[in-house]
Chain A
Amino acid sequence: MKDPRRPAVPERETSGLRPRTTGRRVVVFADADSEEPVDWARAGVRDVADSRDFADGDVPPETLRGAGATVFAALGIAVVAADEGQLRELRAGSARPVLSVSPELVHHVLPADIGTYARGYRDGVADLAGRLTSAEWPAPGAARPARFRDTEEATWGVQAVRADASGFSGRGIRVAVLDTGFDLAHADFVARAVTARSFVAGEDAQDGHGHGTHCIGTACGPAVPPAGPRYGVASDAEIFAGKVLGNEGSGTDAGILAGINWAVTSGCPVISMSLGADVVEAHPPYSAAGRRALQRGSLIIAAAGNNADRRTGDDGLVGAPANSVEIMAVGALDQGLEMAYFSARSLPERGGQVDVAAPGWEVLSAWPMPDRYRTISGTSMATPHVAGLAALWAEATGRRGLELWATLCQESERLLQPSLDAGSGLVMAPR
């Protein structure tokens, strides 16, 4: 089956680009910290240099060149001059299990070959000229080809992040969504563990707006809703619904900070905040809250903002709280995996950058009964996709805080969108 993601990456001629190798092998052993010796003699490998025998573990380059094997003890890796038979012996006879054996590659300072560079440059110019003069280059805001669409099984967003193909469901992970509350009587969530709390004076946690229910639906909706397609990412996550925006859709720092405090002290590894104020400067309370939340194992994920209008050349700005360095900012993608026209672009200020992107255009999710479902757009809709994915990764890896943040970025799929808009790209579910 054709992978709808592939058109994002142009096909390249790869034949003739076989990497140069040294003839040696790089052997990776299990357990870097193990003291278990490797039986080199049995495999017939002589002149073994061990980084532990050198001052500060610093192996001189001449030793590297001459040794039969050079062992980097702290890494559990050895570079070995050995033939296939010796390598087989090493795999079979070693008390330390061998994880992998790969050819040692020759690395170059890029560009390796000025001819390749010049050809690439020529092709780039030709492509740009072609795009500028052809009708293929879409006018700003024009409809672009969709790679994903809602099906009877799942929304386009759930498919694009591969939540429907993941072996994880967020089980055992608490996900806090700080928003307009939750429709506690929603038919799709009757059997779910939900802890709801209001931080808005004079209002209970029941969602009188709809935005909060929609965001919770995307982050934590069921794997098989009783009606309609799957729209939720972390279908077994424990829901913490914090109402920090009133039924009329607004709130202040006091309620939002109270909600963050509640989520952190409740042990939620993931805190989703589809809200913001259009200010350029990072707001010190959110920076402190983000930092202290990370220290306590809670990752705050916030919407980059909807204040751009790319159709008219307005790039907008990443507002608070997403513009704090310590808080992850999420941009919105359409079904073509291109930026939605309203998705805010990074600012040069420290912290004012978009970190990742997720589906945020025509997103179907839960809405307070009796409507039950609604399709809306926004970086607010992209944010809970990432929150749900963070819950899947938290379950899959046990990672929390900054480690979880790094995992989301590492595992995101790079896009042909400027990093200013999409950061590390489309966040993906663990397999």
Chain B
Amino acid sequence: MTHISVTVDDGHLSALDGVVQGLRARGMQVEQVLDGLGIITGSVPPGTLGALSGVAGVLSVDEQLRHRLAPPDAPVQ
């Protein structure tokens, strides 16, 4: 599965439920609906991310980045 973040456009911030339904209908497994930010996170089967762009209210669909710190004993963190 590919972990993704879906950014919702300004016009759909008060209608996130409808966007979530649209994303689920296109195969997204929704994990979090961040209503304070208008961002929905979750996962899709590999290679199917592009299908979500067509859902009304979707501004962008992005694969999640991984952030990594240096180990605790590193001088520069």
Which residues of A pack against B, CB within 8 Å? 180, 209-211, 214, 245, 249-254, 256-258, 260-262, 264-265, 275-277, 279, 283-285, 288-289, 292-293, 296, 306, 320, 342, 376-378, 380-381
Contacts and interface: CB of A to CB of B under 8 A. Distances in A.
A378 B75 CA distance: 8
Interface string B3-21: 1010100000000000000
Contacts of A378: 70, 76-77
A59 B36 CA distance: 47
B77 A380 contact: yes
Given A257-B41, A258-B34, A288-B7, 14 more contacts: A180-B69, A253-B65, A256-B67, A264-B37, A265-B35, A265-B36, A275-B69, A285-B7, A288-B39, A292-B37, A376-B76, A377-B76, A377-B77, A378-B76
A381 B66 CA distance: 20
B65 A377 contact: no
Contact of B77 (A258, A283, A381): A381
A254 B41 contact: yes
Interface residues of B, number: 28
B38 interface: yes
B7 A377 contact: no
Given A249-B68, A285-B62, A211 B38 contact: no
Nearest to A376: B77
Contact of A253 (B36, B41, B60): B41
24 contacts: A211-B72, A253-B41, A253-B65, A254-B31, A254-B32, A260-B34, A260-B36, A260-B37, A261-B35, A261-B37, A261-B39, A276-B67, A277-B65, A277-B67, A277-B68, A284-B7, A284-B60, A289-B37, A292-B36, A292-B38, A296-B36, A306-B76, A376-B75, A378-B77
Interface string B48-67: 00000000000110101111
B50 to A, nearest CB: 15
Contacts of B34: 257-258, 260-261
B64 to A, nearest CB: 4
Contacts of B59: 284, 288
A431 to B, nearest CB: 32
Nearest to B33: A261
B47 interface: no
B71 interface: yes
B69 A257 contact: no
Contact of B5 (A180, A254, A279, A296): A254
Given A288-B39, A376-B76, A254 B62 contact: no
Closest 6 interchain pairs by CB?
A249-B69, A253-B64, A261-B34, A277-B65, A284-B60, A250-B68
Given A249-B69, A250-B67, A276-B67, A288 B76 contact: no
Contacts of A275: 67, 69
Nearest to A363: B77
Nearest to A340: B76
B3 to A, nearest CB: 6
Given A253-B41, A376-B75, A245 B64 contact: no
B3 A254 contact: yes
A211 B75 CA distance: 12
A342 B76 CA distance: 8
Contacts of A284: 7, 59-60, 62
B9 to A, nearest CB: 9
